[in-house]
Amino acid sequence: MMVRHLVTIDDLSEAEIQAIFSLADEFLASMPSPGSPHRIRGCLPLADQFVLATLFYEASTRTRFSFETAMIRLGGHVLSSADPKTTSAAKGETIADTVRVLQNYADVIVIRHPCEGAVKVASEYSDVPIINAGDGGHEHPTQTLCDLYTLQREKGSLKNLNVLLWGDLKNGRTVHSLVYGLARFGARIIPLPAEGFGLPEHVTRRLLRDYDCVPLSNDELIDAGTDKFPVDVVYVTPEKPHQRSLFSDVKEKGTDVLRVRLPHNALSKIDACYVTRLQRERMPGDASAENYPMVDTEFLKDRRYRHSSVMHPLPRVTELGYDLDDDARAVYFKQASYGVPVRMALIAALLQIKPDVLGAVPPKKRHSLFARSTVHCDNPNCVTGLETEQRYLTPKFLVIIEDERLTIRCQYCEHESIPEFIGRSSTKKYEPNRMRWESLPDDITLFTDEAAAIAAGYQPYKQRLKV
Ligand code: NCD
């Protein structure tokens, strides 16, 4: 069996996620804490042959401690690095070298890093499982497991839940993995971002393209566009697999066709509000939180929120009122507590202590991969932009052909870009980005604009490219 890693939430199939949840249920039931049914007590003799290393290049409380306590409660051992200044990264060591060394000392490695895609790089050089504990603004898949697990325990199922996403949806990595998870399990997503902090465009595009998750705009909503509920957009997922065809219709005919199938009053009840803090550390300069909204008992007075679970990945700053702490709808501390059984289950699955949880191979990716040293990721926070990693990394991309145009998704940070012009280095010719080929020529070069092509010494094609 090949080594499995967890870098993004789509490294796990829906069945595997559910199997992890069942195992987490078992741990909770077999290690009860009197009076606190969401908390684990005691230790099991399951992982005494194993060592887990936590390598954190960014601040953490919950994620690192819950991983470490999860390993200890499985009976295993822990090595921990919480301060990047104390590892050889401070001396200029690459991510690849660090994990190639660490894999000799630990059986599973948990990494948090400020650069998007850094944990993917680590997974490419490790023969022990690598777990992403958050890579820049990209993803935080184990937080998503905790979030989905909490929702499922609170609501019984994830299907058709209305989940409101609140706050900094632009920079919040927990949100970026959560939306894909929710879409895959058939929940409806209702983004309610702080002004200027909406979901990144590439995340929105991917929701639609890869998960048939379709946005409905405010005025197209039945019952939802009231003043009290100024929704920007709702993403609706297909209820049954065959409804994918209906969703292709939506792409062509617009969201009107969805009115027909969105049940009346479908959005009159919000099942969960997922609140997030302003991610200051991901923003240039001094970010202002002046107009950042707050969720408190006053906001939740509306009838729609009567049974809403209030969630937050924590830490909270000012976006979530302390007045909610005694409210029965507040589940954020329980959510943090579920981090332990969920991470115990994940570690036990990846280490094969529980061999039936994960399949032999990860779920297949939907798009084909291409590697080009001539093409670079345009995300300034991508790991491929780091000087240290440029010594050995070749940029790799997934190729997506959409609306006759080539879109590339960086294999590491997963940002997408649509170059305006495409050239071939063998002929030094360029033309507008209109794809007519199934596979890509080896010498492809991408240009953000025509001036860049001309500056690189390319000339326009007179005829269509032939391949
Ligand atoms: C989150 C993170 O690090 O992205 N925290 C966590 O792991 N629970 C959320 C945050 O820091 O806002």
Distance from C-alpha of 324 to C-alpha of 334, rounded to nearest angstrom: 14
Quick one: average pLDDT of 281-297?
81
The two three-digit tokens of residue 282, written as one number: 């991901």
> How far apart are the CA of 27 and the centre of ligand 1, in A?
24
Pocket test for ligand 1, best of 56, 57, 61, 63 (most atoms within 8 A of CB): 63
Q: Which CATH number applies to 9-139+337-350?
A: 3.40.50.1370
Look at ligand 1, atom 11, and give the residue with the nearest C-alpha.
Answer: 315
Topology of the domain comprising 142-333: Rossmann fold (3.40.50)
Task: Judge whether 9-139+337-350 and 142-333 match in fold.
Answer: yes
Quick one: average pLDDT of 50-57?
98
Ligand 1 atom closest to Cα of residue 313: 8
Distance from C-alpha of 132 to C-alpha of 174, rounded to nearest angstrom: 12
- What is the residue-averaged pLDDT of the chain? 90
Cα first-last separation, the chain:
39
User: How confident is residue 222, by pLDDT bands cut at 50, 70 and 90?
Assistant: low
Query: Has residue 134 got a pLDDT over 70?
Result: yes
Query: Has residue 314 got a pLDDT over 60?
Result: yes
Give the pLDDT score at 162: 94
Look at ligand 1, atom 8, and give the residue with the nearest C-alpha.
Answer: 313
User: How confident is residue 439, by pLDDT bands cut at 50, 70 and 90?
Assistant: low
HEC readout, the chain: CCCCCECCHHHCCHHHHHHHHHHHHHHHHHCECCCCCCCECCCCCCCCCCEEEEEECCCCCHHHHHHHHHHHHCCCEEEEECCHHHCHHHHCCCHHHHHHHHCCCCCEEEEEECCECHHHHHHHCCCCCEEEEEECCCCCHHHHHHHHHHHHHHHCCCCCCEEEEEECCCCCHHHHHHHHHHHHCCCEEEEEECCCCCCCHHHHHHHHHHHCCEEEEHHHCCCCCCCCCCCCEEEECCCCHHHHHHHHHHHHHCCHHHHHHCCCCCCCCCCEEEECCCCHHHCCCCCCCCCCCCECCCHHHCHHHCCCEEECCCCCCCCECHHHCCCCCECHHHHHHCHHHHHHHHHHHHCCCCCCCCCCCCCCCCCEEEECCCCCCCCCCEHHHCHHHHCCCCCEEEEEEECCEEEEEECCCCCEECCCEEEECCCCEEEECCCCCCCCCCCEEEECCHHHHHHCCCEECCCCCCC
CB 314 near ligand 1, within 6 Å: yes
> How far apart are the CA of 111 and the centre of ligand 1, in A?
14
Q: Which CATH number applies to 368-460?
A: 2.30.30.20
Give the pLDDT score at 17: 98
Pocket test for ligand 1, best of 60, 111, 132, 140 (most atoms within 8 A of CB): 140
Give the pLDDT score at 10: 96
Distance from C-alpha of 346 to C-alpha of 19, rounded to nearest angstrom: 10
Ligand 1 atom closest to Cα of residue 58: 3
Look at ligand 1, atom 1, and give the residue with the nearest C-alpha.
Answer: 313
Q: What percent of the chain clears pLDDT 70, i.e. is strictly above it?
A: 93
Distance from C-alpha of 291 to C-alpha of 147, rounded to nearest angstrom: 26
Give the pLDDT score at 386: 96
CB 313 near ligand 1, within 6 Å: yes
> How far apart are the CA of 315 and the centre of ligand 1, in A?
7
CB 343 near ligand 1, within 6 Å: no
**pTM score of the predicted model:** 0.93
User: How confident is residue 242, by pLDDT bands cut at 50, 70 and 90?
Assistant: confident
Ligand 1 atom closest to Cα of residue 314: 8
Quick one: average pLDDT of 237-242?
78
User: Rounded to the nearest 5°, which phi and psi values hold at 373?
Assistant: -75, -15
Chain centre distance of CA 265: 30
The residue ranges of every structural domain in the chain are 9-139+337-350, 142-333, 368-460
CB 112 near ligand 1, within 6 Å: no
Quick one: average pLDDT of 220-248?
71
Query: Has residue 255 got a pLDDT over 80?
Result: no
User: Picking from 65-79, 87-101, 122-136, 350-364, which range would have the lowest pLDDT averaged per residue?
Assistant: 87-101
> How far apart are the CA of 175 and the centre of ligand 1, in A?
10
Query: Has residue 286 got a pLDDT over 70?
Result: no
Give the pLDDT score at 437: 67
> How far apart are the CA of 245 and the centre of ligand 1, in A?
37
Query: Has residue 223 got a pLDDT over 80?
Result: no
User: How confident is residue 219, by pLDDT bands cut at 50, 70 and 90?
Assistant: low
